[in-house]
Structure 1
């Protein structure tokens, strides 16, 4: 039979936070920890899952051509190193805020799809992502993960904007 603490933990809604290597992303994670976890420790209102979406080597390289096959192992190695760094940095931030019991995962794929899929997989109640603050042209060319998730994720989506430095 499960303990009442374990049963209570299972009943908590899931909050998913998407992270990448950007300052905007880690600002959103820190904001989430400060607003939803630190004030309530150890009785947090959510189970926290932090997801990093690692691009595939071919999406990084772009169009295939001569020499691409030789570059793939190097690109794959770099992407793995970045993913490890991102997950470790997220883990250390959680530890520094005394937030424990966090599930951290690096998953290969387009962040838009990965985040929406993980919302479904974990029946998340909330998705939190940072805003890179792209202008209209850059957003049109690169696509906005936050915009896509706001329209396609089947849960509440919180988009955290990092304040601009005013010096």
Structure 2
């Protein structure tokens, strides 16, 4: 359990650092971060209600229809259940590298 918690803390810290760095590129953007436990869609919706953000920005795994049907979509659930606008950012498709980089 302790090892898993340390790993999760490390991942959460890394994600928050990256997010803060990206947001730091845009002047005047207020960012709040926190780490909560539980079902992601429920925690995100609860925090959005509590904090009342102007915009909720979320990432997407980009699952296909079958995986999304089986696993559910956190971003879709949140977009349907929070009161603020939601921006879903898709993970870039990994390109197959060629010799000339195209």
Q: TM-score, normalised by structure 2?
A: 0.74
Higher strand proportion:
1
The answer as to 2:6 corresponding to 1:81 is: yes
Please give the secondary structure, in 2, of the residue aligned with 1:116: helix
What is the deviation of 1:112? 0.4
What is the deviation of 1:117? 0.6
Structure 1 residues 112-123: aligned runs within 5 Å: 112-123=41-52
Structure 1 or 2, whichever has the larger Rg, is 1
Match of residue 18, structure 2, among 74, 79, 93 = 93
Please give the secondary structure, in 1, of the residue aligned with 2:79: helix
Structure 1 residues 135-154: aligned runs within 5 Å: 135-154=64-83
Q: TM-score, normalised by structure 1?
A: 0.48
Contact 2:58–2:87 (CA under 8 A) maintained in structure 1? yes
| Runs of 4+ off more than 6 Å | none
Unaligned runs of 5+ in 1: 1-73
Q: CA RMSD in A?
A: 2.4
Unaligned runs of 5+ in 2: 97-102
What is the deviation of 1:158? 0.5
Structure 1 residues 64-75: aligned runs within 5 Å: 74=1
Contact 1:87–1:104 (CA under 8 A) maintained in structure 2? no
